[in-house]
Structure 1
């Protein structure tokens, strides 16, 4: 998943930005979508891996969570690396690492290989998205950082949706179900690498190539004046990403339970119905209701999460695929708006000089929520079964979503009074 970079731009171009070509910006934006597509590519394949190698649901979710651990490591240890050594080498190097992770997937003959592949993939994704977010802000043709941030944000769910759908189709009808998705990814990544090398200029003014400072611990601090907003924003993003993580980790298992048989393509469609709608919701809100306060987007998103996850739980109870996909779509609206509203709230609340470390703390909360509940769900599944575990998760998520929406409204009432 993506992270924002709110450090001041170090773009070397003119201040007007009217003469910047659009191709470099579009190239990096496409790269973000392609890299995030790789994140969801394994999702439709997990059940096949599980059936072939005989590991438990708990192991499945820890394989998924290793990815988040890799992203967290990138966020905490090499955040801002592109500011120190330049955007291009970071984008190029992280793409090479991603291609190496696909090679690990292709060579996998046991669960240990999956752990290694997901760890490398997570680390490379975290490094790439951090540099790409900064590059998009630098390269936007009109120097519009808000639009650049929107493109970066919307590329995340859009890439996730496309990656899972294509992977599911290849796994269901392709010649090598566990290999063809990663061969396609490798080909796309090579194209992105070539395009960045050919078309994307360096935007850091005289990067120092400070290779001795590649690893630097990112401080996590929330300034006192932003703590109330941080609490509400963190609650919103935690609920949203917990749901997103559970979908990416257990979509195949949920489909198997609902249809009484595995179907990789349908598992991909589950991610499409959730993450694709999330991206559309973000773009629609930004384009049609850009003047509506971010607190409204956050509250509406939390309410939609509450309704959507309860609908999905009801679908599992009644065995209704139609209700399942409808609930997933509503959940996607909630995910997109809650994430967008929460991230904008904390960005606006944090002082500019402290914004980087505040956002780092925000995304640490997000990635912990992305991974820890999924691991717990996997462990509980081995004891109570998938459906009962999902009921518990849905009830907890619905309560937290409702509480977050109420707290958000109350905090805004305090600010307005």
Structure 2
């Protein structure tokens, strides 16, 4: 799709009829930041329902398991989109795919506005997940296409930073609107409709980086891990399981936990807790971007374990201040451990099997995000929220220490600092 050409008519003359019609296009630098905004705001929207889950539950009377299932269905949609349509923009171009995915995000956001039952939430989250997965794949590729120096490190860093920052800010802004603005179950989504409308106009005006088009082909990137790197894959998978499982718990049940620990019914408490985790993760990725992968995994996993132990301790001490500080420390470990685990894997993947190995990585990552949250939803009904977090926090802390020991023992004798190629391979973080 293209924007209508409203340029003035060319002057009369023999060459005027030969001049091609040109439409207005965004400069490459503006288009680059538009791609970063699409990534950040797509994940901003994905986090918007988090402060509202408790309100939805009170309004429609569903169980904690249903709450976490609503959260998890989004991850299923993202995973399906990445595995089946993750390369679609290589075939038909970045612009049409981004225009289409933003249009579907507008539809899913409108479904949240119109939601009148839990079934609407399931449908809206699933559609949101599919559209976000397609948008992230296309916008992430366009970041590299449009980077002024085609710098894979810079594009990958922007991808990771805007992903985590968007997620944290989405939860915080939604919490503020839910607590202090009118129409708490509608206004956050109405504002998102305006935002996505503006991004859609921008996508229509972006230059098309893909010059060679092919017939549309939806093909499943079947997961496969070569035998030679299965040890590295196992270590990375454990690192992702430790970090993303806690992310899933915080995004789904964290706002309710924060309200208990801070002794308030103010929705802002949940937004602050999520921002503490994701914001610290963003900063950690910026600070440690050049660290050697195995060392980063080791240190990040230790910090993650200490942070989780502190979270569990804060629940026993009933200390809201300690809870927020521990959540921040956990976020530092989460961001560092994930980045180290990812780089440890991307440094050894053979080029011929890169797509299929990353498909396996996606499968582990989004399963880690959703399945532990579902399990927690089941146990909350039987044990209660605080005991569930204590048990899950302790289990993941032990897992993180296992990852730290394994990463230290398997580190190369002379490990280089994080290289530019591995830095670019940032998996979209979603809630």
Match of 2:143 among 136, 145, 162: 136
Q: Residue in 1 aligned with 2:212?
A: 206
The separation in 1 between residues aligned to 2:262 and 2:305, in whole angstroms, is 24
Q: Residue in 2 aligned with 1:6?
A: none
Does the 8 Å CA contact 2:64/2:377 hold for their aligned counterparts?
Answer: yes
Does the 8 Å CA contact 1:255/1:263 hold for their aligned counterparts?
Answer: no
Q: Does 1:264 align with 2:295?
A: no
Unaligned runs of 5+ in 2: 1-26, 416-431
Task: Give how far 1:64 is off.
Answer: 0.4
Task: Give how far 1:250 is off.
Answer: 0.5
The separation in 2 between residues aligned to 1:317 and 1:62, in whole angstroms, is 28
Within 5 Å, give how 1:377-396 maps onto structure 2: 377-396=376-395
Match of 2:39 among 3, 28, 32: 32
Does the 8 Å CA contact 1:172/1:264 hold for their aligned counterparts?
Answer: yes
Unaligned runs of 5+ in 1: 1-19
Does the 8 Å CA contact 2:28/2:207 hold for their aligned counterparts?
Answer: no
Does the 8 Å CA contact 2:145/2:209 hold for their aligned counterparts?
Answer: yes
Q: Which has the higher helix share?
A: 1
Residues 130-155 of structure 1: CA distance to partner in whole angstroms, max 9, x if unpaired? 11111111111111011101110111
Within 5 Å, give how 1:229-308 maps onto structure 2: 229-286=232-289, 290=290, 292-308=291-307
Match of 1:97 among 93, 97, 104: 104
Within 5 Å, give how 1:390-405 maps onto structure 2: 390-405=389-404
SS in 2 for 1:191: helix
Task: Give how far 1:357 is off.
Answer: 1.2
The separation in 1 between residues aligned to 2:413 and 2:143, in whole angstroms, is 36
CA RMSD of aligned residues (A): 1.4
Q: Residue in 2 aligned with 1:17?
A: none
SS in 1 for 2:112: helix
Q: Does 1:182 align with 2:189?
A: yes
SS in 2 for 1:157: helix
SS in 1 for 2:271: helix
Residues 370-416 of structure 1: CA distance to partner in whole angstroms, max 9, x if unpaired? 00000000100000111111111011000100001100111115787
The separation in 1 between residues aligned to 2:44 and 2:184, in whole angstroms, is 17
Q: Residue in 1 aligned with 2:158?
A: 151
The separation in 2 between residues aligned to 1:406 and 1:413, in whole angstroms, is 14
Within 5 Å, give how 1:319-358 maps onto structure 2: 319-358=318-357
SS in 1 for 2:182: coil
SS in 1 for 2:208: coil
The separation in 2 between residues aligned to 1:184 and 1:279, in whole angstroms, is 25
Does the 8 Å CA contact 1:40/1:160 hold for their aligned counterparts?
Answer: yes
The separation in 1 between residues aligned to 2:140 and 2:295, in whole angstroms, is 25
Q: Does 1:194 align with 2:194?
A: no
The separation in 2 between residues aligned to 1:335 and 1:91, in whole angstroms, is 30
The separation in 2 between residues aligned to 1:414 and 1:150, in whole angstroms, is 27
The separation in 1 between residues aligned to 2:169 and 2:195, in whole angstroms, is 13
The separation in 2 between residues aligned to 1:374 and 1:21, in whole angstroms, is 40
Does the 8 Å CA contact 1:305/1:333 hold for their aligned counterparts?
Answer: yes
Q: Residue in 1 aligned with 2:5?
A: none
The separation in 1 between residues aligned to 2:255 and 2:325, in whole angstroms, is 17
Q: Does 1:71 align with 2:78?
A: yes
Within 5 Å, give how 1:355-366 maps onto structure 2: 355-366=354-365
- Superposed structure 1 runs of 4+ greater than 3 Å apart: 413-416
The separation in 1 between residues aligned to 2:101 and 2:314, in whole angstroms, is 40
Q: Normalising by structure 2, what TM-score?
A: 0.88
Task: Give how far 1:116 is off.
Answer: 0.5
Task: Give how far 1:224 is off.
Answer: 2.1
The separation in 1 between residues aligned to 2:371 and 2:81, in whole angstroms, is 18
Does the 8 Å CA contact 1:252/1:262 hold for their aligned counterparts?
Answer: no
Does the 8 Å CA contact 1:282/1:336 hold for their aligned counterparts?
Answer: yes
Task: Give how far 1:262 is off.
Answer: 2.7
Residues 70-91 of structure 1: CA distance to partner in whole angstroms, max 9, x if unpaired? 0111122212111111111111
Aligned residues: 389
SS in 2 for 1:412: coil
Within 5 Å, give how 1:101-116 maps onto structure 2: 101-116=108-123
Q: Normalising by structure 1, what TM-score?
A: 0.91
